Every structure is written in C-alpha cells, then in structure tokens.
Structure 1
Amino acid sequence: MEVVANLRNSFESGKTKPLHFRMKQLKALLRMYEENMPQMLEALHKDLRKCKHEAVVMETEYLLNDLKNTIANLHKWAQPERPPKRFVNLLDSLRIYSEPYGVVLVIGSWNYPIQLTLLPVAGAIAAGNCVVIKPSEVSAACSKFMAETIPKYLDSDCYRVYEGGVAQTTELLKQRFDYIFYTGSSQVGKIIHSAANQYLTPVTLELGGKSPVYLDKTANIKVATKRILWGKCVNMGQTCVAPDYVICSKEVRDKFVDCAKTVLVEFFGTNPKESPDLGRIINERQFQRLVNLLRGHKPAIGGSFDASDRFIEPTILTDVQANSPIMLEEIFGPILPIITVGDASEAVKFINSREKPLVFYIFSTCSKDVNLLVENTSSGGVLVNDTIMHMATDMPFGGVGFSGMGCYHAKYTFDTFSHKKSCLYKDLGLLGETLGAARYPPYTPGKLKFLNLLLRRWPGFPWKACLLHTFIFSVGFVSAIGYKYFLDEKH
C-alpha cells in the first residue's frame, strides 16, 4: 500500500526522530485544536448530538490538557534512563533508550471519535513514529473533519489520515506495521490481534466489557445514585467505562430505584427527550441492538424510545437474571440492569464468573468489604465511590483479558509507542578486565566462587557509599604507610 510505503521511507530517513521535529509537530497539533474548536464541536454534535458541555470536558479540553502535558515533559520523557547497577556492573554504564517503533497504525473509535483517535496519535508523534490515522467511519462527520484538517497542520510525509469502512480497514491490516493501537469492541479486537500476529506486531487493545458497580448500604445513596447515573448517561451511555450494571442487595436496590427517579428528573426534566444534555444513539444499527436488549423486561424506570430520533430514555431494569441477553454483552447505551446479591463475597463470585471488566466501581464506606472486592477481583482499574473520574488522573488506563491489553494516558502513552532499548557500555580498562577474568577458561572452583560473588544481588546494599569509604580508607592507609616510610628513612 502506497500510504504505508511512503511513511516507511520517511521513517527510515530519520525525519521523525529529532526531538525538535517532534516538538514542532506537537505544537502544530495543539494549534489545530485551538484554531478549530468550533468545527470539532460541530462535528461531534452531528455524529452524536453531543452537547457542548460533554464535548468540551471529555473531548476537546481533554485533548488540550493531555497534549500540553506531553509538550511540557517530552524532553524529560525522552532522556535515557539510568537503571541501578549491581556489583558486577559498577565500572560500566547502563542506559535504557526510548526509541520509536517505526510506522504505527492508530484506529480510533466512534463514541469519542476525536479524543480516542488523536490522544494516542499525539503519543505516537511524541515517541518519534510515523503514523497512519484511521478514524471510525461510523462517526462520519468527525472522520471528515480529521481527514480534511490534519494535513493542514501535520507533515503529510510522516502522518496520514486513512478513511474507509470495513473493506478499507481489512486491506489496511494486511500491511506491515511496527505497532497497532486499536480502540473499540472486543469482537473487532480479536480481528486486529489476529492480523497483527502475521508479522508479530505488538498491539494495544483498548476495549470495553461489562463494568460492574457494587453498591452497599454503607454508601450515601443519594450521592452514589447521582454519580452512577451520571456515569451511565454521559454520552448516552456510549462510553467504554460506563457503569454497565449494578450489584446490590434487594434493600439497597429499592432505595437506589426510589432515589434514581428523583435524580433523573433533576438531570433531564420530566421529558428527557427534550433535554439538551442527552445525546443520541450513533446509528440505526446500535439503536436496534439496544431496543432488542430491552425486549422481555419491564423497566422500573424509563423504557421509552423513539426510532425516528434514535432516542432511548435512561432506563433501569430490576427484573434481570444473570443469563439474560442484556447481561451477556456490553450494553453501550442508557440502560442499567440491577443484579441482586447477598453480600460482597457473593458479588465477588458473580464478577469472577464473567470476563474481566475494564473498570470496577465500588460504592461503600466499609473498608473491609472494599478491600475484599479490590483484592479478590481482576479488572483494568478500580474506582471507589465515583464513576469515570479515574480518567482525569495520569495513572495508566487500559484493560485486562477481554477488556483489552496495554495502557496509555500521559507518560504511559509515550511509553506505549516507545521500544525500551537496553544498552550496556562495558569498561575495557585493566581493572574491569581483572574483575571479569574469572569468566574465562580454564574454569576453577576459585573462579566460580568469585563469579558468584560478583553476580550476587545485594538488595539495599549501599555499593557507592561502600566504595567511596573503601577508596578514602585506602588512600589514607597508603598515605600513612608512605609517611611512616618517610620518617623511617629520615631517621
């Protein structure tokens, strides 16, 4: 494919490696954000009817803050690391270099189409790679915006936008890349992983899954309800880290439902369809999938929908069984099932009987139960007493198992797109050769003992201080002997 071949030539020329070139491109990307803010907000509204508040906080401002942080720290991140030495390496130099992989492919998602595409792209640029940028064709307006705007700011010899649907993406995946970063569903993630295996290409898969919420009676129900429903309804539930279902006792369930009735009216009024703060389902296919998941259930709250507007009212279901269709796939919409359990131990068993989620939300003030839940379940991340707000930290974000592999955000994005190359610079002097002579044949028991001493790990032992004191002592000892010899000679 010509696009990939051209980028390969650009990378092999070394064009993207100098830090001043990377910095120039990152600043150009920042300028693109700042100069095209209205266009980005318009594209997001066209695709998802995303309100300005959510579009700014979770897309444009999120990108701006992450990029400014990358620009501010790039020189520090790119510096070679100096790992600790062992006794055998005291005379040597150890370095870990962050080098770019080469030509990387970034495949974005449609639910946060600008942020989830361009945030990893910025990290790939910072690490010195050439990038093929593949926006989701489902979010057509945002894809068009990126295809038309990015070439005006970034060097087209090094960064190219490639639009298209399934056929074009399939053809793209036949090409040889040095790294692939994909955000989307687990089903497509398997296809990406399989394609990458042909060339043993490393991948980051940012997927999703059914992220559970554990809610117990020790939590402030009103506050917890607000935070859970906000996390569920933001972007109309089309968020990979949205609460997928709630696990609680029957007593807590009833309190939660009663509180939710009030909270939803506070959020969206008595006619949520008219609320300017609720978006829409991305397309007809996703809308029909969600409607089918509602079939056979009697909603405790909500349940109405309008096909002509791709609108689904925020809905809570209480008549849900563990094997219901809605519990067998990620919901990705404004529907919240509730599963009842007896206690935290039963919740652990339920969660562990399913695929590992992207995030586990816990609402409780009982430290014993919180520790039980954190220590006995596996998930991409854990957030206690809130939803989604872990995305506002610089901690690594990513999944585990079916919810993904690899991580990113802040420095972790730079590290994801950087190969960590270890370099050992050995000393060629007489002292270094004397210390290392025991490795050469003929082998003897004495040489083996000496090698074992050299190679042994001494955790926490202050080698540098020890050597300094030994040197000072040696100089002092030699000086004392010399002075004594001088006095003897004088007499």
Structure 2
Amino acid sequence: MANKFQPILDAQKARFLSDQTKSAAWRLDQLERMERMLLEHQQAFCAALYDDFRKPSFEQLFEITVPLGNIKYYRENLGTLMAPQRVQIPKGLEATGNRGLVLKEPYGPTLVIGPSNAPVLLLLDPAIAALAAGNPVVLKPANTTPATAALFQTLVPRYFEAENVAIVTGGREEIGALLELPFDFIFFTGSSAVGKVVMRAAAENLTPVILELGGQNPTIVDETANLDTAADRIAWGHNAISGQWCIAPGYVYVHESVARAFLAKLKASIVKMYGSDPQHSPDLARMISSHDAQRVASYIVADKVVHGGRYDVEARYVEPTVLYPSTWDDPAMQQEVFGPVLPVMPYTDLKDIVSVMKRKPKPLAAYIFSQNQAHIDYVLGSLSFGGGCVNQTNLHCWIDSLPFGGVGYSGMGKYYGKAGFDALSNTKAMLIGNPDQDLDVFPPYEGKDNARSLSIFS
C-alpha cells in the first residue's frame, strides 16, 4: 500500500532538486516566513501552550523568543556560513597552484519530530537550522500537545508552500509512516526509547540523524559552593516546566558537611518561587498527561520526603518534591524522572561519586556548584556529558554560540547557531587543481624519484 505521505516527500524532493533551496534568497524567505508566523500569532501560541499544560506566561514567551533569536542569528550570519571556506593543504600541493575548499551543501528534505515539553521551541529550532542550511522541512509536532499541534496545522500552510515546509499531525501511526520514507535527514527530540526506534528506521535508508534525547542529569554541590545561589538555580532548573525539561537537574549530590544547610535553602527557594501550595501557583506547569503524573508520583518515597510530596493525578499535578537521603536503589534513580521530584544524596569524596557517575549512561547535561577550581576541573575533565554549567543550570542550551546536544545514551549530534548550520549541511571537501602545472605522481613509477614525487603531500 502506498505511503500516504509520499506525495509530500516527492514535492519537497522536486523543489530541492531544482536547486532553489540552495540560494540565500530561498533560505532568507523561509526564515522571514517563520518569523512572521511567530510574531503575528504570538498570543495564539501562548494560549495553546497554556491549554495543553498550563505553561506559565514566562515559559510561554520563552518558547517564542528563543526561536526568534535563532532566526536573527541565521539572518545576520547566513552569508558567512554559506561562503566557501579556504583550508590549509600540504605545502607541496599549494606550491603547485592547488588550493583546498570546504563547501556546505544542504542534505535535502528533512523530517523534524518535536517533543511535548517545549512543543514550539523544540520543533522550530531544528527546523530553523534546517531551513538556514537550505533543506525543505516536514514538521511533526507532538500529539500529546493537541492545542499546539492544531495551531501549527492551521498556520503552517498559511505561511509556507508545502514544497518548502509541510506539517503532519497525528500519533504513532503517522510517525511510523513518516519514518518509512527515505528522507535525507531526520531530527528527533524526545525519549531515548523512541530515539532507538527512529534510529532503526533511519538505518533502513541510511539516513543521517540528530537525536536529542535525555537522561538522569547529575548536579554536584560541593562544600565550597554558594548555597544560596545553588538552591535558587537548582530549584528553578529542576521545576521549570514542572520538571519536564530534558536538561533539568535530575539528582543532586551534596557534600555531607553542607547537606543540612543546602536542604533548608532549597526548600526555602521552592516556597519562594511557587508558594506553600504550588497547585495554585500560576508559575508551575502541569504534567503533560495524567499517565505522566502517575508515573512521577510513583517515584515519591514517603519516608524520604523532606519537602512536598503531594499530587493529584487527575489534575496532572505533582508538587515540587525533594527526597533525602536518596540512594541509587530508589525508584527515582532508575531512570530520568522528567518531573518535579528531586532525589538528593550526600557524599564525602568527590572522586568516589564521579567514579559512580562515569559508570552510568552518559547524561545530556551536568552541573557543578563550587568555588574550588580544582574540583570544577576534575569534574569537567573526568565526566562525559552533552553540555552543562558551572554555578548555573539549564541556560547553556539557549546560547547560539554553544553547540547543544547529547552523547551516548543522551543523543548524538549538536545544533544551535553555527553548529546547527554545520550539522544540517553536508561538508563537501574540494581540492581545486591547477590545470597548467603537472604533478609527477603518475605511472610509470620505475626510474622516478618517488620520494620526491610524494613530498608534495607533506
């Protein structure tokens, strides 16, 4: 049976093969259309995000302003990014009039599958990088954010020709059908379990992928840390979007000498941000589904609750909760929590806990709060993770000069800014020869000074 989405791919492939998408004019036009869609319907996007899971106003606007910032970056830097790059080649070749160039060319029609936790931002940011690199795009928003997906379904055809940017909504059946098609690139943001499905499907067509996944992100608070700063930034980083943030601190190791003081400040920070009854706070989002609320609530171990612990599954609400002292055997430590339940564990020796963490799946992010440079250098040098912060949480992933992505189980490939343009472009390496000067490297070899001939490559 014919794939129902084949006509979309065929139309985008035809547009790509026409070479129109390789021009700066096409790329700038698509970015301008994306910008207008966001600006002219900002209120509608914010309302959809609230309808889907009561995302607070600041977090709504965050989903609009970050893609707009990325559009601005690509608009201002597109000429430089697209320009051929002169590279150094062996001196012998250069002396005979040859030169090396690196060209960046688009891959072709690109499938972008977005997640539910940031359904605008994490769908559009990869698409913006793909368009800047000259690729037509098929957008697949998350079906678990129905209001946002419906808005995309309405707006995308108004602003884009389907040959350039198309929208497909639906659930597992639609994703399965899309993954059967031979796209030239696939960009997926979501869980590691689904990431494996995407990668298996991509392998059938040898399609390159970027996988932005997740993991249980470690946070270390050592004995030298500014505890006020650490408490505020961890409380926000962990509970923003109700913990449904792939880069959220997943657990905290705190030095035993400051554990009691840190816990007191962490609890105070949570109350300062969300009040004594967070269920009525306008600043705390809901879980994306009742299933996820039940899942996260199941991680709460009653006798380890030092703050929070309440939940209402029907209302998709889980209170910001702190568990202490947690261990690696606790339910919340068996997988990415992806919700507002934070395990905290005491430690005595930094090298011991880093040794433990190094044997776990590599996380998307890691954070350390310390004023001891030797401690900071040791963690950054010994522990593998996608990216992170020192004395800060979460914000690294929205800076266009910092490549963002995972490693190992938490994903593959980096994007944002120049890294995004490069990732969504094929790097075409070229040696430009001198047509008027011979190279003495051809047969017959007998009687030649082969060492002298080969010296041009050194």
The answer to whether the 8 Å contact 1:214/1:347 transfers is no
Matched, 1:343 2:346: no
Name the amino acid aligned to 2:191. S
> Which of 214-223 and 153-162 deviates more?
153-162
Deviation at 1:438, TM superposition (A): 4.2
- Runs (4+) of structure 1 exceeding 4 A deviation are none
The answer to whether the 8 Å contact 1:253/1:340 transfers is yes
Equivalences for residues 301-312 of structure 1 within 5 A: 301-312=307-318
Residue aligning to 1:61 = 65
The answer to whether the 8 Å contact 1:253/1:338 transfers is no
The answer to whether the 8 Å contact 1:231/1:387 transfers is yes
1:451 equivalent among 435, 450, 453 = 453
Residue aligning to 2:3 = none
Question: Residue by residue, what CA displacement relative to the aligned partner does 1:401-440 show, whole Å, maximum 9, x if unpaired?
Answer: 00000010112111111101112121121xx20xx11443
Cα 1:392–1:157, aligned 2, differ >3 Å: closer, same or farther? closer
The answer to whether the 8 Å contact 1:361/1:385 transfers is yes
Name the amino acid aligned to 1:404. G
What is the CA–CA distance in structure 1 between the aligned matches of 2:384 and 2:151, rounded to whole Å? 38
Residue aligning to 1:401 = 408
Question: Residue by residue, what CA displacement relative to the aligned partner does 1:371-400 show, whole Å, maximum 9, x if unpaired?
Answer: 111111100013111101212322100000
Residue aligning to 2:282 = 276
SS of the residue corresponding to residue 337 of structure 1 reads: strand
1:18 equivalent among 15, 18, 23 = 23
The number of aligned residues is 450
What is the CA–CA distance in structure 1 between the aligned matches of 2:223 and 2:255, rounded to whole Å? 8
Deviation at 1:249, TM superposition (A): 2.5
1:428 equivalent among 402, 427, 435 = 435
Cα RMSD, aligned residues only: 1.3
Deviation at 1:164, TM superposition (A): 0.9
What is the CA–CA distance in structure 1 between the aligned matches of 2:259 and 2:147, rounded to whole Å? 40
Equivalences for residues 77-88 of structure 1 within 5 A: 77-88=81-92
1:391 equivalent among 382, 387, 397 = 397
The structure richer in helix per residue is 1
SS of the residue corresponding to residue 256 of structure 1 reads: helix
The answer to whether the 8 Å contact 1:25/1:155 transfers is no
- Specify every segment of 5 or more residues in structure 1 that has no aligned partner in the other structure, as ranges: 457-491
What is the CA–CA distance in structure 2 between the aligned matches of 1:375 and 1:93, rounded to whole Å? 37
Larger of the two Rg values belongs to structure: 1
What is the CA–CA distance in structure 2 between the aligned matches of 1:199 and 1:219, rounded to whole Å? 49
Q: Taking structure 2 as the reference length, what is the TM-score of the superposition?
A: 0.96
Name the amino acid aligned to 1:390. H
Deviation at 1:265, TM superposition (A): 1.8
2:48 equivalent among 39, 43, 46 = 43
What is the CA–CA distance in structure 1 between the aligned matches of 2:377 and 2:147, rounded to whole Å? 45
Equivalences for residues 189-228 of structure 1 within 5 A: 189-228=195-234
Q: Taking structure 1 as the reference length, what is the TM-score of the superposition?
A: 0.89
What is the CA–CA distance in structure 1 between the aligned matches of 2:290 and 2:301, rounded to whole Å? 17
2:445 equivalent among 438, 442, 446 = 442
Deviation at 1:51, TM superposition (A): 1.0
SS of the residue corresponding to residue 419 of structure 1 reads: strand
Residue aligning to 1:410 = 417
SS of the residue corresponding to residue 385 of structure 2 reads: coil
What is the CA–CA distance in structure 1 between the aligned matches of 2:365 and 2:376, rounded to whole Å? 14
Residue aligning to 1:469 = none
Question: Residue by residue, what CA displacement relative to the aligned partner does 1:62-89 show, whole Å, maximum 9, x if unpaired?
Answer: 1111111111111111111111122132
The answer to whether the 8 Å contact 1:94/1:422 transfers is yes
The answer to whether the 8 Å contact 2:66/2:121 transfers is yes
SS of the residue corresponding to residue 293 of structure 1 reads: coil
Question: Residue by residue, what CA displacement relative to the aligned partner does 1:424-462 show, whole Å, maximum 9, x if unpaired?
Answer: 121121xx20xx114432334x52221342222xxxxxx
> Which of 81-90 and 400-409 deviates more?
81-90
What is the CA–CA distance in structure 1 between the aligned matches of 2:9 and 2:282, rounded to whole Å? 42
The answer to whether the 8 Å contact 2:302/2:309 transfers is no
Identity over the aligned pairs, expressed in percent? Answer: 35
